[in-house]
Amino acid sequence: MGGERALSSPDKEPALRILVVEDNVFIAFDLEAQIQDMGHVVVGIAMTASSAIEMSNQHRPDLAIVDLQLADGSRGQDAAEHLRTELEIPSIIVSGSLHHVTADERAIIQPIAMLSKPLLPNELRQVIDKMASSQRA
């Protein structure tokens, strides 16, 4: 781990290391499969804000995909805010409740994108590909 990026294949650029923050296990596994199909690495699945912060401290992902309403009643916005301000880890917010993010929270979190569930085909891929391309530039 140690800050190194996994290679998705010998001919490709390094894969992104991504943390999934989602309390619905079926959605979490679907996101994980989509991310792996893109050639990126899922460093963990967190179901609460505190576990997202703990996993991020441990694994230092390049990106977090964050739901807003988490298992223990914690808020994804709190996790995303901590990841952005303390660890400089950007987030993509994926939720059926995007209206729960205030303008102030959005300004602090600075999400790469805010995607509404259910996701459209290739919607997540387009955002992640754009981020990966900008990191390589």
Domains assigned to the chain: 17-126 (3.40.50.2300)
Nearest 5°: phi and psi at 95?
-155, 155
Q: What number is the average pLDDT over the span 106-125? A: 94
Give the tens place of pLDDT for each residue, 69-86.
999 999 999 999 999 999
Pick from 10-24, 41-55, 65-79, 114-128: least confident: 10-24
Confidence of residue 132 (pLDDT cuts 50, 70, 90): confident
pLDDT of residue 1 exceeding 50: no
Among the residue ranges 2-11, 85-94, 95-104, the one predicted with the least confidence is 2-11
Say what the pTM is.
Answer: 0.89
Give bridge partners of residue 92 from the DSSP assignment. 65, 113
Q: Is the pLDDT confidence value at 55 over 90?
A: yes
Instruction: Please tell me whether the peptide bond between 90 and the residue prior to it is cis, using omega within 30 degrees of 0.
Output: no
Q: For the packed helices 49-59 and 76-87, what is the interaxial angle rounded to 10 degrees?
A: 30
Give yes or no for a contact between 19 and 55, defined as CB atoms under 8 angstroms apart.
yes
